[in-house]
């Protein structure tokens, strides 16, 4: 559903482009592009099964979506090739198991990609694709429900992974543009915590491999220097 919504947004941007006239120059070699807008991270999550000695199989961890202010910074190496860094204010996610929220965490996911822009420097509508690497730093991870004293000391390991994107810019004027883009990032973390059966005094360490692998949607306004 979210993918369809973003697709409609990109199509709408294309239709908007047709309604403008003028000769604004789009991206060309040496341009610096700064975009700012709304970014939603929607995890496509999966994890190892959480097996417990007293409650049995609780299933997989689930990670909630979150929307923040996003920024990206691009530089055009040529009229068609560029590099871009995606940044954002910290994302906050609820972590659930068996339909019950048990923890929350924050993360920063700086992502660097190389891009290819279709069309020429004087094309006002510039679709593009990109591929690169993502680094995700988890912090402020805390347990919000210890399940009657069973859970403690939760931490998430940082992640490195591949990233890919598709997007489109429409140049409204020589400097201003509107943008829509979709990203996919490989994010895998180990959820490490202590588990005390029946909430007793003795706990055992547990590590659950969790793949978050989110789709990231961004709608923004940009300025070209």
| pLDDT tens track for 104-150 | 999 999 999 999 999 999 899 999 999 999 999 999 999 999 999 99
Tokens 């547990």, residue? 206
CATH of domain 2-20+28-224: 2.40.160.20
* pLDDT of 11 over the 70 cut: no
Report the C-alpha gap between 175 and 4 in whole angstroms. Answer: 30
* pLDDT of 20 over the 90 cut: no
Instruction: Name the helix (H) or strand (E) containing 6.
Output: helix 2-18
What is the predicted pLDDT for the residue at 2? 46
**Average pLDDT, integer, range 160-171:** 97
* pLDDT of 90 over the 60 cut: yes
| pLDDT tens track for 71-82 | 999 999 999 999
Q: How far is CA 177 from CA 113, 162, 172, 189, in A?
A: 20, 27, 5, 36
What is the predicted pLDDT for the residue at 27? 86
What is the predicted pLDDT for the residue at 151? 94
């Amino acid at each position: 559903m979210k993918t369809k919504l973003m697709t409609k947004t990109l199509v709408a941007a294309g239709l908007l482009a047709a309604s403008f006239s003028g000769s604004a120059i789009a991206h060309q070699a040496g341009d610096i592009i700064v975009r700012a807008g709304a970014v939603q991270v929607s995890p496509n999550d999966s994890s190892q099964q959480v097996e417990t000695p007293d409650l049995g199989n609780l299933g997989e961890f689930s990670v909630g979506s979150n929307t923040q202010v996003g920024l990206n910074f691009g530089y055009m190496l040529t009229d068609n090739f560029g590099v871009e860094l995606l940044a954002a204010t910290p994302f906050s996610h609820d972590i659930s198991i068996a339909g019950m929220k048990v923890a929350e965490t924050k993360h920063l996911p700086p992502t660097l990609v190389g891009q290819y822009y279709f069309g020429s420097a004087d094309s006002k509508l510039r679709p593009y694709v990109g591929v690169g690497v993502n680094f995700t730093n988890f912090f402020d991870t805390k347990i919000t429900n210890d399940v009657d004293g069973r859970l403690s000391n939760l931490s998430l390991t940082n992640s490195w992974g591949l990233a890919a994107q598709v997007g489109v810019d429409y140049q409204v004027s020589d400097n201003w543009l509107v943008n829509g883009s979709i990203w996919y990032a490989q994010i895998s973390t180990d959820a490490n915590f202590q588990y005390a059966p029946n909430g007793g005094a003795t706990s055992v360490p547990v590590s659950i491999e969790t793949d978050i692998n989110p789709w990231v949607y961004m709608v923004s306004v940009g300025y070209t220097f």
